[in-house]
Amino acid sequence: MLYPRESESRQINELNGMWDFRADMSPSRNMGFDKQWFAGRLRQSGPVIPMPVPSSFNDITQDKQLRDFVGWVWYDREFFVSSDWMNKRVVLRIDSAHYNTIVWINSKQVMSHVGGHLPFEAQVNSYVNFKGPNLITVAVNNTLTPTTLPPGTIKYQNDPNRYPPGYFVQNLQFDFFNYAGIHRSVRVYATPNNYVDDITITTTVSGANGMVNYTVVPAAASGATVAVVIEDANGQQVASGSGVSGKLTVSNAKLWWPYTMSSTPAYLYTFKVTLTSGSDTDIYRLPFGIRTVSVTSKQLLINGKPFYCHGVAKHEDSDIRGKGLDFALIAKDFNMLKWLGANCFRTSHYPYAEEILDQADRQGVAIIDESPGVGITQDDNFSNASLAHHLEVMEELVRRDKNRPAVIIWSVANEPASNKPIAGPYFKSVIGHTRDLDLTRPIVFAIGGGSTFKTDKAAQYVDIVCVNQYYGWYSDTGHTEVIGLQLRHNLRSWYQKFGKPMIVTEYGADTIPGLHRDPSFVFTEEYQRDFMGEYHKVFDQLRGDFLVGEMVWNFADFLTDQGITRVVGNKKGVLTRQRQPKAAAFLLRERYYYLMNQTLPGSHYGYQYGGPKCQAPSVIIN
């Protein structure tokens, strides 16, 4: 399933914009199906409101019931398909909708999909009208069950003295808001009937040359020919070949590197495929980078050189659009990543939009690409049905992102109950299956506080041990003086047991912006700064040994479900939800520029690295 890209043979019609929208507020949530809302315009079934696509529907209105709604919501709009496409293959694609989705065109079901965050599509030639308007109707259900990713449960409250009839709540097993709706772009696109169906590229480096192994999957009649060309960033041909598979050599290759101050990062080539079959010619251009990723017992290597990940964990989260695709937010976030000096991030805790990964590829930000496997904590989350769905999700994720140079690591889960005996065979299967899908990248999951180096049953299968650590916050709250001792002991113990390099994939403290106290106190900006500083001291002691990365939790504040432990969301961001820096962001920026250029800055906050002072630049030019 190639990402839709225009070419001489391919055209795209985006269906983004305002759609009609209605939530099915009936007690059963099935009125839309009973009354066949898909059989005509949604407005004929009752009141509708305008709803932007892409967006999360939760924060668009002032309706509390809609914000917290669980069940089926319905969208529709009209669109046209050019008569020029009549003799082409016409495809409808939805980049992401959360969670279960059914799609109709002109009242006929054309596709369905289970799972949020990843794309799905179907050929629709037999459903569309080329000489008049078409109606697309989309129903999306955000209900989470023990076998979904992420999992959840529905709890019915049956006490008539406390709850009205039919009252239920969605219980979440993760700490972020269950935003829902059509989150990413909806497109209709056209290709020739004989077309390029898939491309897989892997690269190696031999001396000054880049070796590009490729496989093209044609959907074409027998006798089709395939020609391939590699072009440099200026559009000049540097290699060529033919056939559905082969190896090409790029002489004096410019390698893809993560962002640094001293080198040119993120060099991208273009892999151009031309498929010819009968009267059809299909052309597809795939941006790619030449780079390698490998792991030793103590190092993470990119292009054979040690790479230290100094970055952040993120969330796709904005004030208004929830998890909806937002180009302004994407641009802002990458500017703030560069401002911080971050060279990597983890897509916690689900796959991000392809447009985000495009920017990571182009701007040189490495990615730990994580599945939506967050909250796998109950026994029924490890069932055969759950495992089958998890394997399917990993197939979808790898298929989507396999050619991206920025993706250096796959993460199959976040903070599962990996101390349970059942977790061993479960994650052996998930990790093994993912490794079968892609042998070129290490595989990890983020280990949470419920599992220790003594009890964990799944870390034995990963390539890098990733741990989330919250000493001084969830334990010994407020006592920064014990962080160093506890963190150092724990990290060394993990390494001594498993003998694998390590990344601290989370560490952080909730911080209310503008709240100050001296001496520092929990929830103040001073405490976040002091808390992080204690972690940094340990990181500096271990990063020359087996520690290969540190990622603060979190890049920015984000919304969570309502609860007494969160004040309008998780406040562990070094940036506010509006992307304004807290005091700790300046500490982190100073540290990351020090790590990036290996000079020794002065410190605004009492950290005496010594040596010459090197200030981070105040303006980042991409």
d(CA 275, CA 196): 7
**Tens of pLDDT along 359-385?**
999 999 999 999 999 999 999 999 999
* Cα R_g (the chain), whole angstroms: 25
d(CA 133, CA 602): 65
Average pLDDT over every residue of 252-257 = 95
Domain 192-291 has CATH 2.60.40.10: yes
Residue 481 DSSP one-character state = G
- The candidate with the shortest Cα–Cα distance to 584, out of 493, 516, 482, is 516
Average pLDDT over every residue of 41-67 = 95
Average pLDDT over every residue of 525-532 = 96
Average pLDDT, the chain: 93
Enter the tokens of residue 208.
Answer: 């000054």
Q: Are strands 108-114 and 100-105 parallel, antiparallel or unpaired?
A: antiparallel
Q: What percent of the chain has pLDDT over 90?
A: 88
Inter-CA distances, 134 with 94, 106, 120, 277, 338, Å: 17, 6, 20, 30, 44
> Residue 608: pLDDT above 70?
no
CA atoms within 13 A on the CB side of 216: 30
Q: Where are the beta strands (DSSP E) in 157-253?
A: 168-172, 181-182, 186-191, 195-206, 209-219, 225-231, 237-242, 245-250
Which residues are designated catalytic? 415
CATH class of 11-142+178-190: mainly beta
Q: Which architecture does CATH list for 294-597?
A: Alpha-Beta Barrel (3.20)
> Residue 607: pLDDT above 50?
no
**Tens of pLDDT along 117-140?**
999 999 999 999 999 999 999 999
Helix (H, G, I), strand (E, B) or coil at 159: coil
Domain ranges of the chain: 11-142+178-190, 192-291, 294-597
Among the ranges given (184-198, 241-255, 280-294, 597-611), the one the predictor scored with the smallest mean pLDDT: 597-611
d(CA 296, CA 548): 11
Identify whether the C-beta of residue 344 lies closer than 8 Å to the C-beta of residue 585.
no
d(CA 327, CA 325): 7
> Residue 619: pLDDT above 50?
no
Check residue 612 and give its pLDDT.
31
